[in-house]
Amino acid sequence: MLACKVDLPKTLSHDFGQRSVVATHDLAGHSLFTDRALCALLDDFPRQHLYAFTMGDDVMRPEENRLASTEGVSGAELLEAVRHGRFWLNLTRIDRVDVRFRKLIDTLYAQLTRLAPHFQPMSCQGALVISSPQALVYYHADAPGNMLWHIRGRKRFWVYPALDERYLQREILEDIFAGVRHEYVPYEASYDEGAICYDIEPGQWAAWPHNAPHRVTNIEGLNVSLATEHFTAATLRRQRVYVANRFLRTRLGWKNPSTREDGAVATLKTVVHRAVARIGLDPLQYKRYAPVLRINAQAPGGVTALSDAKSLPA
């Protein structure tokens, strides 16, 4: 295992998983995250698992989120473009690509489970996120339990109440769990009155309740974070109930099936749904983005239209 240290004050231990928690780690300055290491990582990273997304200025308009191709762009050019442009690079499932990250994530979670013994992850995985100084991440909710290990730059983070239909309709969460829509969800500025907002510095980690909507705006510098996901008996149970409810709602016309996650009815729904899904009676159309831009370190914003890519300096 890689040497690293996670801190979680005893007073926050019980809050982990239930409330938003910010504590510290010692990964800022680690050799895995220097410019040189990031360039090498990007050069070697399989491009089909690397996503570059640009964004607009308006947090209300997630439709301005656009996928940019990184094909043929070197690691050094990608880093240059993200430093001076306005987009983020998502090195998905880096734990599967680079064994150092597999070991690092295992070490982080081993320490977490010692610090918060009620936390019992069955598996964990992660992505490395590198984002521009002025980048933002639109209001969204994630299907797995997740958290952020912040390493470089500064960002502002808003977390909203979980499983509260004033902030996220249950039908949308069902779709997110089923993988049939992108995580971005409808947002209104008034939601901020119910949010917890904090700034995150290098050397801090943040966790929030499962499925709590959140959004991020970078404040300063090239931002580098490890975004990890974990699966527990509880997160998997919720996923199965919501996906089963989606089936009941969309295929059988049930109105508002219960979101209760324990008990005989919940178990029966999930068992029946898994059986019908196995025989192909709940086909799902997974959402995919298509690239419309290309990363170009010489272009303003670090991107150019895909069709114009060849006319700009390489």
Q: Which residues sit at the interface with Fe ion, rule CB under 5 A?
A: 142
Whole-angstrom distance, CA of residue 278 vs CA of residue 291: 32
Any idea what the Cα angle at residue 31 is, between residues 202 and 9, rounded to 5°? 40
Look-up of token digits 């904090």: 198
Q: In this chain, which residue has its C-beta nearest to Fe ion? A: 142
Nearer to Fe ion, 142 or 201 (CB): 142
- Please state the closest distance from residue 53 (CB atom) to Fe ion, in A: 13
Contact between residue 138 and residue 184 where contact means Cβ atoms under 8 Å apart: yes
Whole-angstrom distance, CA of residue 243 vs CA of residue 173: 9
- Please state the closest distance from residue 154 (CB atom) to Fe ion, in A: 18
Reading phi first (left if > 0) and then psi (alpha if -120 to 50, else beta), residue 72 is in left
- Please state the closest distance from residue 213 (CB atom) to Fe ion, in A: 9
Nearer to Fe ion, 231 or 282 (CB): 231
- Please state the closest distance from residue 121 (CB atom) to Fe ion, in A: 17
Q: Which of 157, 120, 117 has its CA nearest to residue 136?
A: 157
- Please state the closest distance from residue 99 (CB atom) to Fe ion, in A: 25
Nearer to Fe ion, 158 or 247 (CB): 158
DSSP H helices, the chain, are 10-13, 35-44, 75-84, 94-97, 99-115, 170-178, 233-251, 264-278
Nearer to Fe ion, 97 or 212 (CB): 212
- Please state the closest distance from residue 23 (CB atom) to Fe ion, in A: 18
State the pairing for strand pair 303-305/145-159. Answer: unpaired
**Helices 233-251 and 170-178, axial angle in degrees (round to 10):** 110
Nearer to Fe ion, 148 or 244 (CB): 148
- Please state the closest distance from residue 234 (CB atom) to Fe ion, in A: 18
Contact between residue 306 and residue 199 where contact means Cβ atoms under 8 Å apart: no
- Please state the closest distance from residue 216 (CB atom) to Fe ion, in A: 8
Nearer to Fe ion, 50 or 216 (CB): 216
Calculate the alpha carbon distances from 95 to 38, 49, 100, 276 in Å.
15, 12, 8, 32
Nearer to Fe ion, 206 or 309 (CB): 206
Nearer to Fe ion, 142 or 282 (CB): 142
Tokens at 196, concatenated: 């917890």
